[in-house]
């Protein structure tokens, strides 16, 4: 039996391999795409996170509020949330995603096993399928997010998109509330701390007054200083009067004696008052009053400091609340979820082209590798 020439055998195997590795899979793929793959409808929507910053009236002089886009961090958080298991589970609680995406034909066992979901899929499989059915397009420059949701029924695709918008809005609101609470929590704690310090200072002042039975030690000291000043004035007047009596010709010794006794009594009174005030001597009363004034002045300084810090904390708390009210995050949708009228997915022609390119490149690499191995041998 005559063997065919090597060149003919090579062309035979190349042709056979091309038919088996490229043409046949393409025929099967085309058959599946047009005969088995179910039509899918797309619902699109677009939104962004906005931050409203209202300038105070005194600064604006009656102007309008200022609006600005959200920081990239807020949008990045939302983008990550749209791919997370949290939103998948949240939407699945309101819509039966497994039933929606397993149609038609009951999922993997019948109908469309490639584009449909197993009705008994776990949450992990559902999250993976979510990534296929829900495409998120994020423009980092403008902060715009666009979604495309696929389903086998147009109304179900729209319902999923609306649920995504609702859950995203709720997440942004929670984020805004948390930021607002963080902004005023420190100021609130500071107010509580300064208020407690002020209460303690006032209670210490009340205890001091009860212990010494004096309502206002400052007023008591002022009264005693006033009395001492009047006594010193009387002493000066008596001394002047004594000098005048002594300087008169034919002085009356009785008047001089009375003046000297008056001066002595005033001096004793002044000495007694100074002793009571603790200015001289070491009497217990003077020491007690000096201690009272020392404690009173220390407590007065502490109470004044507590009052000042509490007023400052209240002002800071009011400013923090005003700032929190001025800034508010919200989700703004400039394209609401659409309702499709035509099934544009799966994109059969494009998918078939991708498969053809992949198979063709794979077959060409395999053939070239086989020729290279044969030539080296």
Residue 67: the pLDDT is 38
Using alpha carbons, list the distances in angstroms from residue 352 to 244, 344, 349, 355: 133, 15, 5, 5
For 1-15, 28-42, 143-157, 335-349, which range has the lowest pLDDT when averaged over its residues?
1-15
Q: Which of 136-140, 210-214, 321-325 has the highest mean pLDDT?
A: 136-140
How much of the chain exceeds pLDDT 90, in percent?
14
Check: pTM over 0.75? Answer yes or no: no
How does the average pLDDT of the chain come out, rounded?
77
Q: Which residue has the higher pLDDT, 54 or 78?
A: 78
CATH topology of domain 38-184+327-346: Bacterial polysaccharide co-polymerase-like (3.30.1890)
Q: Which residue has the higher pLDDT, 263 or 126?
A: 126
Q: Which residue has the higher pLDDT, 3 or 277?
A: 277
Residue 68: the pLDDT is 43
Residue 139: the pLDDT is 86
Helices (H), the chain: 6-18, 24-31, 57-60, 72-82, 85-94, 97-102, 123-133, 154-212, 217-247, 253-277, 284-326, 348-376
**pLDDT 10s digits, 93-102:** 999 898 888 8
**pLDDT 10s digits, 130-186:** 999 999 998 878 888 999 999 988 999 999 999 999 999 888 888 777 777 777 777
Delimit the domains of the chain by residue range. 38-184+327-346, 187-323
- Residue in the block written with tokens 């544009």: 344
Residue 374: the pLDDT is 72
- DSSP per-residue letters across 329-363: EEEEEEEPPP--SS--BS-HHHHHHHHHHHHHHHH
- CA–CA gap between residue 38 and residue 152 (Å, rounded): 7
Would you call 130 helix, strand, or coil by DSSP? helix
Report whether 39 contacts 343 (CB < 8 A). yes
- CA–CA gap between residue 231 and residue 377 (Å, rounded): 131
Report whether 235 contacts 263 (CB < 8 A). yes
- CA–CA gap between residue 52 and residue 331 (Å, rounded): 11
CA-wise closest residue to 110 among 100, 119, 123: 119
Report whether 50 contacts 150 (CB < 8 A). no
pLDDT band at 6 (very low <50, low <70, confident <90, very high): low
In 68-94, which positions are buried (b, 16+ CB within 10 angstroms) versus exposed (e)? eebeeebbebbbebbeeeebbebbbee
- CA–CA gap between residue 265 and residue 285 (Å, rounded): 21
**What tokens does 361 get?**
């490149």
Report whether 371 contacts 363 (CB < 8 A). no
For 205-219, 255-269, 348-362, which range has the lowest pLDDT when averaged over its residues?
205-219
Residue 300: the pLDDT is 80
For 34-43, 157-166, 316-325, which range has the lowest pLDDT when averaged over its residues?
316-325
């Amino acid at each position: 039996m005559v063997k065919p020439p090597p060149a003919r055998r090579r062309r035979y195997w190349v042709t056979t391999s091309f038919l088996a590795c490229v043409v046949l899979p393409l025929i099967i793929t085309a058959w599946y795409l047009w005969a088995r793959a179910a039509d899918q409808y797309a619902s699109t929507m677009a939104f962004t996170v906005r931050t409203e910053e209202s300038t105070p009236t005194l600064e604006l002089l009656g102007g309008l509020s200022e609006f600005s886009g959200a920081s990239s961090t807020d949008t990045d958080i939302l983008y990550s949330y749209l791919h997370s298991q949290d939103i998948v589970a949240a939407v699945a609680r309101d819509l039966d995603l497994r039933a929606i995406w397993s149609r038609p034909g009951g999922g993997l066992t019948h109908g469309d096993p490639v584009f449909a979901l197993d009705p008994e899929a776990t949450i992990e499989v559902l999250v993976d399928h979510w990534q296929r059915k829900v495409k998120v397009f994020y423009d980092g420059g403008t902060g715009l997010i666009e979604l495309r949701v696929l389903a086998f029924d147009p109304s179900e695709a729209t319902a999923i998109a609306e649920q995504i918008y609702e859950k995203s809005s709720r997440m942004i609101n929670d984020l805004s509330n948390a930021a607002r609470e963080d902004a005023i929590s420190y100021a609130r704690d500071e107010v509580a701390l300064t208020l407690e310090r002020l209460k303690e200072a006032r209670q210490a002042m009340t205890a001091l007054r009860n212990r010494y039975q004096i309502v206002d030690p400052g007023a008591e000291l002022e009264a005693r200083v006033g009395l001492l000043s009047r006594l010193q004035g009387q002493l000066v007047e008596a001394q002047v009067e004594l000098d005048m009596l002594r300087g008169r010709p034919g002085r009356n010794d009785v008047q001089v004696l009375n003046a000297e006794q008056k001066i002595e009594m005033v001096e004793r009174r002044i000495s007694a008052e100074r002793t009571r005030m603790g200015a001289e001597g070491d009497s217990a009363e003077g020491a007690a009053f000096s201690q009272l004034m020392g404690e009173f002045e220390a407590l007065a300084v502490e109470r004044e400091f507590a009052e000042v810090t509490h007023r400052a904390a209240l002002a800071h708390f009011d400013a923090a609340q005003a700032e929190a009210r001025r800034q508010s995050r919200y989700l703004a949708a400039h394209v609401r979820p659409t309702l499709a009228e035509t099934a544009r997915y799966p994109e059969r022609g494009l998918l078939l082209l991708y498969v053809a390119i992949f198979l063709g490149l794979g077959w060409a690499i395999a053939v070239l590798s086989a020729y290279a191995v044969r030539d080296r041998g």
